[in-house]
């Protein structure tokens, strides 16, 4: 199993979600986060006082899937989350040791 | 004339036998009708002025602070609705409006004894007391913008009580009280025109705010840490309520539902409008973007500046006063403050001190009998051919500056001795909502 963490533009959530549901991804977790990569922040001015906001609001989606589905999910994510502009986000993939469904103690891919 | 016809037809007049009796009954009925009309407007105005403090100012200031201090900041405004009212009933009203001293009233109305529903002019005495009370509430509440996010609650309570006694009651008496030295309508030695509180409310609170900001020092982390407003939607809502309430503040200061009240109402609207545009344009030119925060701050600056002038000026001067205040207050808040480096958290000085001073001086130029009473012989401002009025305005403003600064220093020193003014650094970092009041504004668990 692999965990796919996708950091995306918050405005892209709905599109990404629909695309993932479309390819049959059963579960996902969305977390509101702040951060930046190569995209630097922006400037805000309140009554002449300048603030540089360098941690921008982003959305992190966590999806755990069977190894065989990773490429398909990544492609879908890239297609739905991409605007082509700086700040579109990143995808990280890592290995998942095990998964357990709390309700009935299913384990491994059966718990996904 | 409609009310006159009603009076003529009233059974009371018809029943009063002879001509003299009928005339007397007619006069009584007429003055009762006028009194009712004036009283209705003045009670409405009193409620409008209270609306300026809570929710108006509480929302305006509350939105500008960080989320950890929003309740403590709103508490400043709200608790003054209680503290200033009690103080007003005990001694405040009497010290401000009792007797005919030059600098301070006496205790003839202490505990509001001898205050009932008897008429003062055309309105009941009680109406006058409660209307003026609303001004005594909002004035110290305005100062709270300067010490927000770092003052102890106990110190704030003590400070505002002392400040009311040392600054507000004397100044209100000098400008508006019988025999007051700055009273332009009771033979004051320095006749200073202040229709609705340019010096009494805004210069006094604004200058006191500056002194408080200097005395308390900067907030921890200012200016390197981000201290941006946590909720501008609150501030916009608050500013709109301030704007609406200000009609009671200015047009109500005619103390009657009169023609002067109507022109004050119009001048208030125009002053706020011109200042909104003035601030917005200045900000747009300097910073590149017209901000919502800028627009509402400009509106408040214009409302401040038109306050002393509202019942004395024609519509076009109202636009000039508003526009000047919008531009100057922007420059003060966005440029000068940062150069001087003091931390007036919510810009009470930049808006109220500067706007009030600008308005007070321009009142001396633009005040005209045409608005007050076209049949009067009296020359009001420079436009009436009375340039010396500008000097009186400067003198009156100077008195307000000095009294406010001195009274604030004394009040702060006493507070420092008794309870200590500033919160502990760890409390400031934690936020005053939790450390002083034991609660949080926004709960994420529920």
User: Over its length of 446 residues, how does chain B's per-residue pLDDT go in tens digits?
Assistant: 455 555 556 666 666 668 999 999 999 999 999 999 999 999 999 999 999 999 999 999 999 999 999 999 999 999 999 999 999 999 999 999 998 999 999 999 999 999 999 999 999 999 999 999 999 999 999 999 999 999 999 999 999 999 999 999 999 999 999 999 999 998 889 999 999 999 999 999 999 999 999 999 999 998 888 789 999 999 999 999 999 999 999 999 999 999 999 999 999 999 999 999 999 999 999 999 999 999 999 999 999 999 999 999 999 999 999 999 999 999 999 999 988 989 998 999 999 999 999 999 999 999 999 999 989 999 999 999 999 999 999 999 999 999 999 999 999 999 999 999 999 999 999 999 999 999 999 987 66
This complex has an ipTM of 0.78
Domain that holds residue B257: 2-9+18-437
Distances (CA, A) of A46 to B192, B208, B226, B323, B386: 36, 23, 11, 20, 41
Residue B196 token pair: 């609705």
Domain of A39? 2-111
Inside any domain, residue B443: no
Residues of chain A with Cβ-Cβ distance to B293 below 8 Å are: 46-47
> According to DSSP H, which parts of B181-258 are helical?
204-216, 232-250
The confidence score (pLDDT) of residue B1 equals 43
Q: Which residues pair with A50 in a beta bridge?
A: A45
Is B303 within the bounds of a domain?
yes
**Which of B287, B295, B345, B444 is best to mutate for the A interface (most A CBs within 10 A)?**
B287
The verdict on A43 touching B (C-beta cutoff 8 Å) is no
Q: Which of B225, B226, B279, B294 is the mutation pick for testing A, counting most A CBs within 10 A? A: B226
Chain B interface disruption, residue of A32, A48, A49, most B CBs within 10 A? A48
Residues 51-80 of A with CB under 8 A from B: 51, 53
CATH of the domain at A102: 3.30.70.120
Residue B370 phi, psi dihedral angles, 5° rounding: -55, -30
Task: Give the chain A residue nearest B290 (alpha carbons).
Answer: A45
3-class DSSP assignment, residue B50: helix
Q: What does the pLDDT average to over A4-31?
A: 94
Give me the CATH number covering residue B194: 1.10.3430.10
Q: Is the dihedral of CA B146, B151, B153, B157 positive or negative?
A: negative
Q: Please give the backbone phi and psi of residue B272, each rounded to the nearest 5 degrees, phi first.
A: -65, -40
* Overall number of domains in chain A: 1
How far, in Å, CA of B160 to CA of B230, rounded? 26
- Tell me the C-alpha distance between B165 and B157, whole Å: 13
User: How many domains would you assign to chain B?
Assistant: 1
User: What confidence score (pLDDT) does residue A102 get?
Assistant: 95
User: How many angstroms separate the CA atoms of B28 and B3, rounded?
Assistant: 13
Contacts of A53 in chain B (CB under 8 A): 226
d(CA B251, CA B88): 23
The backbone region for B308, taken as left when phi is positive above 0, alpha when psi lies in -120 to 50, beta otherwise, is alpha
Find, in chain A, the residue whose alpha carbon is nearest to that of B64: A46
pTM: 0.89
Q: What pLDDT sits at residue B31?
A: 92
**Does residue B442 sit within a domain?**
no
**Interface residue B229 vs chain A (CB under 8 A):** yes
Q: Is A46 on the interface with B (CB under 8 A)?
A: yes
CA-derived radius of gyration, chain B: 23
**Inter-chain CB proximity B228 and A47 less than 8 Å:** no
Q: Dihedral (C-alpha) B79, B83, B84, B89: value to the nearest 10 degrees? A: 150
What pLDDT does B16 receive? 62
Of B226, B223, B230, whose CA–CA distance to B343 is shortest? B223
pLDDT digit string, tens, across residues A20-69? 999 999 899 999 999 888 777 788 889 888 888 888 889 999 999 999 99
Q: Is B446 within the bounds of a domain?
A: no
């Amino acid at each position: 199993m692999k965990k796919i963490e996708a950091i995306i533009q918050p405005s892209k959530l709905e599109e990404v979600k629909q695309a993932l549901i479309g390819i049959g991804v059963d579960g996902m977790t969305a977390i509101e986060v702040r951060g930046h990569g190569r995209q630097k922040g922006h400037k805000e001015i309140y009554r002449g006082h300048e603030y540089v906001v360098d941690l921008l609001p982003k959305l992190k989606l966590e999806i755990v899937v069977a190894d065989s589905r990773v490429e398909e999910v990544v492609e879908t994510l890239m297609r739905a989350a991409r605007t082509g502009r700086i700040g579109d986000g990143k995808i990280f993939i890592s290995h998942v040791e095990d998964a357990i469904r709390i309700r009935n103690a299913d384990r491994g891919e059966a718990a996904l | 004339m409609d009310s006159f016809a009603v009076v003529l037809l009233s059974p009371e007049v018809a029943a009063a036998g002879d001509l003299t009796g009928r005339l007397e009954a007619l006069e009584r009925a007429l003055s009762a009708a006028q009194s009712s009309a004036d009283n209705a407007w003045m009670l409405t105005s009193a409620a409008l002025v209270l609306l300026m403090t809570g929710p108006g100012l509480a929302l305006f200031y509350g939105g500008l602070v960080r989320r950890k201090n929003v309740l403590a900041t709103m508490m400043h405004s709200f608790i003054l609705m209680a503290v200033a009212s009690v103080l007003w009933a005990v001694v405040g009203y009497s010290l401000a409006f009792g007797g005919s001293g030059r600098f301070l009233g006496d205790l003839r109305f202490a505990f509001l004894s001898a205050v009932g529903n008897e008429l003062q002019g055309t309105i009941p005495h009680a109406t006058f007391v409660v209307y003026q009370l609303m001004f005594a509430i909002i004035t110290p509440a305005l100062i709270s913008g300067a010490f927000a996010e770092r003052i102890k609650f106990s110190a704030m309570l003590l400070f505002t009580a002392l400040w009311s006694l040392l600054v507000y009651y004397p100044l209100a008496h000098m400008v508006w009280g019988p025999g007051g030295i700055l009273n332009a309508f009771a033979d004051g030695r320095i006749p200073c025109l202040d229709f609705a509180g340019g010096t009494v409310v805004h210069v006094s609170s604004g200058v006191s705010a500056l002194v408080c900001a200097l005395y308390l020092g900067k907030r921890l982390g200012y200016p390197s840490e981000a201290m941006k407003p946590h909720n501008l939607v609150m501030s916009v809502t608050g500013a709109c309520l301030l704007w609406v309430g200000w009609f009671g503040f200015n047009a109500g200061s005619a103390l009657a539902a009169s023609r002067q009240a109507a022109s004050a109402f119009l001048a208030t609207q125009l002053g706020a409008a011109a200042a909104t545009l003035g601030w917005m344009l200045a900000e747009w030119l300097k910073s590149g973007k017209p901000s919502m925060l800028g627009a509402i701050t400009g509106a408040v600056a214009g409302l401040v500046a038109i306050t002393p002038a509202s019942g004395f000026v024609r519509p076009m001067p109202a636009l000039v006063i508003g526009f000047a205040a919008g531009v100057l207050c922007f420059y003060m808040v966005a440029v000068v403050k940062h150069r001087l480096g003091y931390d007036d958290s919510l810009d009470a000085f930049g808006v109220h001190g500067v706007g009030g001073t600008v308005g007070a001086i321009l009142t001396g130029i633009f005040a005209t009998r045409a608005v007050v009473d076209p049949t009067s012989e009296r020359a009001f401002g420079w436009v009436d051919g009375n340039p010396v009025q500008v000097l009186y305005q400067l003198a009156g403003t100077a008195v307000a500056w000095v009294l406010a600064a001195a009274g604030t220093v004394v009040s702060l020193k006493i507070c420092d001795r008794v309870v200590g003014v500033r919160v502990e650094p760890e409390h400031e970092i934690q936020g005053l909502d939790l450390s002083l009041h034991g609660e949080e504004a926004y709960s994420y668990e529920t």
